[in-house]
Chains A and B, each alone.
Chain A
Amino acid sequence: MKLRLWRPALTALALISLSFTAFAQAPSTAPPGPATAPAASAPAAPALSTAPVEAAAAPAAAPAAPTIDKGDTAWMIVASALVMLMTPGLAFFYGGLARSKNILSTLMMSFVALGIISIQWALWGYSVAFAADKGGFIGDPMQYAFLKDVGETPYGTQTIPHTIFMMFQMTFAIITPALISGAVVERMKFSAYCLFILLWATFVYDPLAHMVWGGGYIGATLKALDFAGGTVVHISSGVSALVLAFMLGKRKGHGSEELRPHNLPMVLTGVALLWFGWFGFNAGSELAADGVAGQAFINTHIATAAAAMSWIMIEWFKYKKPSALGFGSGAVAGLVAITPACGFVDVKGALIMGLLVSPICFAAIQMKNKLNKYDDALDVFGIHGCGGMFGAIATGLFATDKVNSAITGALGAKNGLFYGGGPHQVIIQIEAVLITIVLAVVGTLIIGKLVGLVTGGLRTSTDDEENGLDVTEHGEVGYSSDTSTVPAFAGVD
């Protein structure tokens, strides 16, 4: 009964999304602001080619007019596409870790974010995150609603079209709620999940992105450093995942049945896509093709390599066998840890952060197993939550303006503890982490309760869980040879 309520809502959302394309086209033909004149005089010409002409013709007339840089723009288009690929990568990473009867349901929890959040971002999400500041907490939800005024004129002092910046940020907004799914797979109702991520993106992610990057409290007032989303993406999703895992309860058979990953090659395929896409995520967060982007690129790679190695070294020592899953888990932990720091630290810092994050995440997962109080099925809190917190705090240890002069310049922050800045920045980073945790916990508790009321509980029935969510929630199975879900004599093959 209650389950039916959300379906028309989603249909309405889809219809609105069709109509919004009409709005979105309007600003690109007549962009507001100083760049209007050249574009309007030659509306048919490609926008980018007008930029150098404008600069050469009137160097003194319009001093602060933001100009589009072709190199930056080209890189950011590619970076946005790279980050988009991370969400399918995450789907495979999680999918392989689940059991075969839940493979499609696990994949869908990531893929559906590409649907829901893309629409949400265009309708109001981007505006909440990046429009004019309202009280340090959110952006004006109306300013860029339906992507009004998001055209070729760059956002702020950027050198890329506003559309590309919006698209780049959209790919972040998509993967973050999808990260949460790892904690709730194999038992959460798909309807409840869809509604949850829609609300969570609106009331947790968008305000947080605004507070850190959109001119809100954490970035502009507190002056915490978060290059590519340690707080916004990883701590927020990791902590919310933990809360939601508590709210849902453990999977049936947790502690008695074997809940082993069903396809580790798929997990490693996911890791490969994540690692590759993360270059766009981290180096792209510079929003320009420059030296800092290059530094972020190599830091990302080196921290990831170091974390993958330190994870398998722990296993080698403890179990005498370095595992493929360990290498993959370590790589993801390294990617998470370096995310807030990648454009602020040198290679030494990246290497140390990579080596240290795996023992921390490994210990966190051991603790989960020992406590046995919650079922964070695929260790979202253990890896993204704990790795993210470590990364955010370590940014305050290793940040150096030798790598990125903006730290002590435009960002108004201080160097890290180990780079002559004293403990100041570490304390700021811890404050930013705490604010993120509070917002994630409170937001998830309220949204989780609310969604449970609408969808008649967050969990599927015990029977459905037993039979696997592929067949019960989606009416299909991933593997036709899987005798646990296919009636062997139904002629499915």
Chain B
Amino acid sequence: MVRIEAIIRPSRLDEVKSALDELGVRGISVIEIKGAGKQKGYTQHYRGSEYQVNLLPKVQLIVVVRDEEQERVVEAIEGAARTGEIGDGKIFVTSVLEAIRIRTGERGDTAIS
């Protein structure tokens, strides 16, 4: 099993979700996050007090899938999240030791399908 973690533009979330839906990927977790990368931030002014904001809003999307699904899922996310501009985000893949479905106690691949 692998954990695929994608940090994407909030505006691409719907596209990515439907791409994953088409692949039949069920469980996903989505977290609103802020982050900094190559993309430049903004300067904010409040009555002359200046604030540099280089943490920009992003969405972190987490799915755990079977090893053989890894490439297809990554490609789907990549395709749906890409705009070609700086700030499109990153995808990280890590391996998962175990998965347990709490309701039934199922383990491994059956717990995530």
Contact = CB atoms under 8 A, between A and B. Distances in A.
A323 interface: yes
Interface in B22-73: 43-49, 51
B47 A379 contact: yes
A365 B49 CA distance: 9
Contacts of B49: 259, 369
Nearest to B52: A258
Contacts of A379: 47
Interface size bracket, B side:
under 10
Given A258-B51, A260-B51, A321 B45 contact: yes
Interface size bracket, A side:
10 to 19
Contact of A326 (B43, B44, B47, B51): B47
Tell me the dominant secondary structure on chain B's binding face: strand
B45 A260 contact: no
A366 interface: yes
A476 interface: no
A319 B47 contact: no
Contacts of A329: 47
Interface in A334-370: 362, 365-366, 369
Interface in A257-292: 258-261
B86 to A, nearest CB: 21
B43 to A, nearest CB: 8
B45, B46, B48, B49, most chain A CB atoms within 10 A? B48
Contacts, number: 25
A369 B49 CA distance: 7
A306 to B, nearest CB: 19
Contacts of A369: 48-49
Nearest to B43: A319
B72 to A, nearest CB: 36
A325 interface: yes
Contacts of B45: 315, 319, 321, 323
Contact of B48 (A258, A261, A365): A365
A325 B47 CA distance: 7
Nearest to A261: B46
Contacts of B48: 362, 365-366, 369
Contacts of A362: 47-48
A89 B44 CA distance: 25
A362 B48 CA distance: 8
B47 A260 contact: no
Nearest to B50: A319
Interface in B64-105: none
A321 B44 CA distance: 9
A289 B93 CA distance: 74
Interface string A362-400: 100110010000000001001000000000000000000
5 contacts: A258-B51, A329-B47, A366-B48, A369-B48, A382-B47
